């Protein structure tokens, strides 16, 4: 680490401690050239995930958008907020662990539907009706039949 005072290329770490709830490390350093002390911060580099929408537009991933969509599907259903947060956390973990910079909204939608199917079937159908944009009652009924067949 180059000293900000004399630009000497070597320094030693005098003290290290976590900050920001463990998201970064604060390091006190001492320059080996001039002896002055300075502070550096080390944190994990987070690359933004880009969501490719159905129309081809690209947006940065927004946790709140995902959360709000799931909350709306679970409205007036016996699904706790902690369950919804767990679903969002699981989906985010999958997205960030995939090491892909871009993900399609279709992939995210499928992840949400797979999670909701196990949690609450009504919330699943609500989400699917918006996500899959059912054209008519018949396509809606086909989705309901799939659920009924799987639960047998």
| pTM metric for this prediction | 0.63
Maximal CA-CA distance, the chain:
78
Residue positions counted in the chain: 152
Residue 139 above 80 pLDDT? no
- The structure tokens listed for 47 are 């690359």
- Could you tell me the pLDDT band of residue 29, with boundaries at 50, 70 and 90? very high
- The structure tokens listed for 131 are 């996500």
């Amino acid at each position: 680490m180059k000293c900000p005072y004399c630009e000497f290329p070597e320094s030693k770490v005098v003290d290290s401690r976590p900050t920001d709830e463990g998201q970064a490390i604060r390091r006190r350093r001492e320059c080996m050239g001039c002896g002055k002390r300075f502070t550096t911060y080390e944190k994990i580099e987070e690359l933004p995930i880009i969501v490719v929408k159905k129309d081809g537009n690209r947006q940065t991933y927004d946790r709140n958008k995902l959360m709000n969509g799931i909350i709306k599907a679970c409205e007036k259903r016996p699904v706790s907020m902690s369950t919804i947060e767990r679903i969002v956390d699981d989906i985010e973990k999958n997205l960030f662990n995939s090491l892909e910079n871009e993900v399609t909204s279709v992939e995210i939608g499928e992840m949400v539907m797979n999670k909701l199917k196990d949690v609450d079937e009504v919330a699943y159908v609500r989400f699917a009706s918006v996500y899959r944009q059912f054209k008519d009652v018949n396509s809606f009924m086909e989705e309901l039949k799939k659920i009924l067949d799987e639960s047998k």
